[in-house]
Amino acid sequence: MLPTPEQYAAMLDEASAGGFAFPAVNVMSSQTLNAAMRGFADAGSDGIVQITVGGARYLSGAAGDSAAGARALAALAHALGAQYPVAIALHTDHCPPEHADDFLAPLLADSRERRANGDRPLFNSHMFDGSTLALDENLRRSAELLDQCSALDIVLEIECGVVGGEEDGIGAEGTPSDRLYTTSADLLRVADVLGTGYRGRYLLAATFGNVHGLYAPGHVQLRPEILREGQEALAEAHPGTRFLYVFHGSSGSSPEDLRAAVAGGVVKVNLDSEAQYAFTRAAAGHMFSHYDGVLAVDGGVGDKRAYDPRAWGAEAEAAMAARITRACELLGSAGRSIVT
């Protein structure tokens, strides 16, 4: 099922209090959506599926319209998610400032209309990624969006610092390496401007050396203690409050770094590259092992049982689902659902 705003809030609160995190799986098609939902259900875990601006543009096909693609994903998830015995929240990933008007604004307008009709919002949460802006401007724009989102019972995710690597065709190569590490002073500035929950609930992608993409071990120098230090600084300034952190670029991270990040208050761990790889690896395995079925070799006609996209699609989905289930086990969300 898809969680109501109240249920989504309960999911995040339980993760924060219980010291676990939800995988947030990037999807861009019905196949990857089904794979993610199945992975969560197999783990008995609540979870989050998300789509980037570029993923939504891809999903929209020839329309080339990201907002239309995100609406289509939401329609699929609302129709199919009801079948699952766990709560699967809907989120939009990285929206840079230049797409706030043509991506976030129309989706928020849809949710406004739905709320006016007594319906739940289209998405449970949206990310605004103002990391290319100066912090003050980032927080000014984030605060405006937080007001809009909280009026609709939507959670906003913001970014403080810069995630390295490349995602969705947007690269941060050449970013000075100190910008890959947020400071406690910057984190407190976020709490000063956006509040500590009373102004609306937000998720915070605070960077601690994380990098998008899949790299050989040792490429990424994570400092999860940055997250813990931020919580300590926040607790001193605003007793009894905690940041709800998001871990971007988790693919390729060691289990120790993941555990340290979750212990520091990460409640949402984005999973993109590893899920993509699991899906494509299984499709490739099918193509190589059914070579003369998926190709019409030497005047043959191939084998419909091998080239039917459902044949290799089912294998790809099963492999991606298994990867999601493993992520739930690693992050501690397996067996935890607000539904049961």
- Enzyme catalytic residues: 93
| # binding residues, Zn ion (CB under 5 A) | 1
Which residues, 6 or more positions from 73, have their beta carbon under 8 angstroms from its beta carbon?
27, 33, 51, 56, 59, 90
Nearest residue to Zn ion by CB is 248
Task: Supply 20's token pair.
Answer: 């676990």
Q: Compare residues 46 and 168 and give the one whose CB is closer to Zn ion.
A: 168
Q: Cβ–Cβ contacts within 10 Å for residue 176, how many? A: 7
Instruction: Check the CA dihedral 284-289-294-297 and report its sign.
Output: positive
Q: Compare residues 248 and 286 and give the one whose CB is closer to Zn ion.
A: 248
Q: Compare residues 214 and 287 and give the one whose CB is closer to Zn ion.
A: 214
Among residues 38, 91, 248, 268, the one that binds Zn ion under rule CB under 5 A: 248
CB of 163 to Zn ion, least distance (A): 5
Q: HSE on the CB side for 232, CA within 13 Å?
A: 8
Q: Compare residues 126 and 248 and give the one whose CB is closer to Zn ion.
A: 248
Per-residue contact string for residues 105-144; x = within reach of Zn ion by CB under 5 A: ----------------------------------------
Query: Under rule CB under 5 A, which residues in 304-333 are in contact with Zn ion?
Result: none
Radius of gyration, alpha carbons of the chain:
20
- Taking the C-alpha atoms of residue 222 and residue 268, their distance in angstroms, rounded to an integer, is 17
CB of 246 to Zn ion, least distance (A): 8
Among 135-143, 246-254, 313-321, 327-335, which window interacts with Zn ion (CB under 5 A)? 246-254
- Taking the C-alpha atoms of residue 252 and residue 215, their distance in angstroms, rounded to an integer, is 6
CB of 230 to Zn ion, least distance (A): 18
SS3 173: coil
CB of 205 to Zn ion, least distance (A): 7
Q: HSE on the CB side for 6, CA within 13 Å?
A: 1
Name the site residues for Zn ion (rule: CB under 5 A).
248
